[in-house]
Amino acid sequence: MTFKTSLARTALLVVAAFLGGTSILVAAVVLWAVVTHESTTDCDAPAAPGVDWFECDKSGANLSGADLSNAFMGWALLPGANLSGANLSNAGLIEADLTNADLSNADLTRADLTGANLSGANLRGANLLGADPQRAQLLGTDFSGATWFHGQVCAEGSIGACN
């Protein structure tokens, strides 16, 4: 970790502690992730566990069945991507754009979906157990048959929320 990274992390945590409140702390952590992200991003790297696609444009990509476990795809552009059956367990999808993406039968166990845009996405049969959906946009998202964040199986016709 560089001195700049360490200094940025410390400054953000001090500001969050001083201002207090959960929303300030969440904002500080997200800002810290951007400021301190080590430059290991490789947008041309093949899909693989732990891949770093921070801010990469994968719009419309065919990643069906790919193993992207532990991948970091914060702020990535994935609208219209085919991620059906993909393993996204423990993936960091903070603020990722997944509008109209196909995530049917995908494994999103413990994925960080903080602020992700899943509007119009297909998550039929997906596993979201333990995922973090804070501030995620879910307008028009199909959750039919998906396993919800706390283990509930969503009924057929669950659009925008788990019924």
Q: Kindly state the average pLDDT of the residues 5-22.
A: 49
pTM for the model: 0.78
How far from 88 is each of 63, 109, 117, CA to CA, in Å? Answer: 11, 7, 16
32 or 80: which carries more pLDDT confidence? 80
Q: Where are the alpha helices (DSSP H) in 2-117?
A: 3-19, 22-36
d(CA 46, CA 53) in angstroms, rounded, equals 10
What pLDDT was estimated at residue 1?
A: 38
The pLDDT assigned to 29 comes to 52
What are the distances in angstroms from CA 63 to CA 25, 84, 103, 144, 147?
34, 7, 10, 21, 21
Say whether pLDDT at 143 is over 80: yes
pLDDT of residue 9: 47
Of the ranges 4-13, 24-33, 102-111, 115-124, which one carries the lowest mean pLDDT score?
4-13
Q: What is the pLDDT of residue 40?
A: 82
| Cα gap 159→163, rounded to integer Å | 8
Position 142 pLDDT exceeds 70: yes
DSSP letter string, 93-107: -TT-B-TT-B-TT-B
Please tell me what DSSP assigns to residue 14.
H
The pLDDT of residue 115 is 97
* 41-163 CATH fold: Pectate Lyase C-like (2.160.20)
Residues 91-117: tens digit of each pLDDT: 999 999 999 999 999 999 999 999 999
